[in-house]
Amino acid sequence: MSVTDVSTSPEFVIRGVPEQMSTRLAFLITGLAMSAWAPLIPFVKERLVIGESTLGLLILCFGVGSLIAMPLTGLLVNRYGCRRVITTSLLLMCVSLVCLAISPGIPGMALNLLIFGMMLGGTDVAMNMQAVVVEKASGRSMMSGFHGFYSLGGIFGAVVMSALLWLGLSPFHALISLAAVLLLMLAYCAKDLLPKSNSENSSGERDPFFVLPRGKVLLIGILCFIAFLSEGAVLDWGAVFLTSIRDIDPVHAGLGYACFSVAMTIGRFTGDKIVGALGGTRIVLWGGLCAALGFLLVVFVPFSAAAFIGFTLVGVGASNIVPVLFTAAGNQNSMPMSLAIAAVVSMGYAGLLVGPAAIGFIAELSSLNVSFVVVALGLIALAACAKKATK
């Protein structure tokens, strides 16, 4: 039985609820583990006695690791199943997460961040593949809710780690505590992750090791790049915009991303019903336009309140675009599902990693206002391609 055949198995259809819950927990665990890294960054900088440029290169190792693993994970899932790939990746992710607090020297930290990024990237592809199959088996839209648990994990991971550090725990003991909880959650859900599959497609041939995205998959990947780019713009440049352009106190500058993050999380948890009612095409169309309007509001209305409202609109608009596009990648016929999901996730995260640097380059040549307008134009182009990508 191949991964794509699992959704037609009578046993799977009957036992749909456990698989749905295991998928939600996989997204939650990944979000928790990923966000736990952010509060550690100042401690890593202090322990290794490094400057901002060296720290930036170390963080780049994390992104490089993710981009290395993502294109290869589709093949691994096709051969070994979601269960083995997700459990192995999450186990190694927990180990590398703890090691972030004790990695010796810059080379050790670089290697550990590379491994941490690879495990995160591999898990991301595998759990989205599972999500596509589970959604198909359920016969209803579920992808937004799955991604909502990832967003929820992102919020709670940062809050829990910050709280443990505030209570006086060392980074090592705080990470040990969090990793123990993550492993218990993984032990609970592992049995209901999709089982082993063979590596053959419907014609009895092995899927290729890697292929360049083509046709509809290439379009979906480009749109995911734009969607993730908009998220990265708020994450990396929102606070800078508020302090440098709107003269907001740095203490309150993080509220822009908070507005975006809360709006996105709420949007994703309510998104399945909205997608079911409106359809994926309208979600991408109106979501792209809403997010574009948010950026334009931030740029052209010179009031602090307008900026916060704008970032909120970006979160609302962008919240369900990526889940709908991932579902579209799983349903297209121009490439095998495993390779399509791997390609789309890779292109999306490239937008999250590379995009903010491009925004900074444009801002250096002109201004951050111009950069945000460019992002808004990209979102308008995304909206214009909604029908072609989702039908």
Q: Which two tokens stand for residue 218?
A: 């290439």
Q: How far is CA 234 from CA 142, 159, 241, 279, 384, in A?
A: 26, 19, 9, 27, 22
Residue ranges in the chain assigned as alpha helix (H)? 10-14, 16-35, 41-48, 52-99, 105-138, 143-166, 171-189, 215-244, 255-269, 271-278, 280-300, 304-318, 321-331, 337-365, 368-384, 386-390
Reply yes or no on domain 215-390 having CATH 1.20.1250.20. Answer: yes
pTM of the predicted model as reported, rounded to 2 decimal places = 0.83
Beta bridge partner(s), residue 200: 206
pLDDT for 214 equals 80
pLDDT for 8 equals 42
Residue ranges of the chain that CATH labels 1.20.1250.20: 3-192, 215-390
Distance CA(258)–CA(350), nearest Å, equals 23
Q: Are 224 and 325 in contact (CB under 8 A)?
A: yes
Q: Smallest Cα–Cα separation from 12: which of 136, 127, 129?
A: 136
pLDDT for 318 equals 95
Q: Smallest Cα–Cα separation from 319: which of 291, 285, 342?
A: 291
Task: Look at 210 and 140; give whichever has higher pLDDT.
Answer: 140
Distance CA(74)–CA(78), nearest Å, equals 6
At 103 the three-state DSSP class reads: coil
- Per CATH, the architecture of 3-192 is what? Up-down Bundle (1.20)
pLDDT for 13 equals 42
User: What share of the chain has pLDDT > 70, as a percent?
Assistant: 92
Per-residue pLDDT tens digits for 320-344: 999 999 999 988 888 888 888 888 9
Confidence of residue 9 (pLDDT cuts 50, 70, 90): very low
User: What share of the chain has pLDDT > 90, as a percent?
Assistant: 48
Q: Is a pLDDT exceeding 60 seen at residue 14?
A: no
Average pLDDT across the chain, whole number:
86
Cα dihedral across residues 212, 214, 219, 220: positive or negative: negative
Confidence of residue 204 (pLDDT cuts 50, 70, 90): very low
Beta bridge partner(s), residue 206: 200
Amino acid identity, residue 268?
A: R
Q: Is a pLDDT exceeding 70 seen at residue 211?
A: no
Confidence of residue 123 (pLDDT cuts 50, 70, 90): very high
Place of tokens 């995205």: 213
Per-residue pLDDT tens digits for 24-60: 999 999 999 988 887 887 788 888 888 877 877 888 8
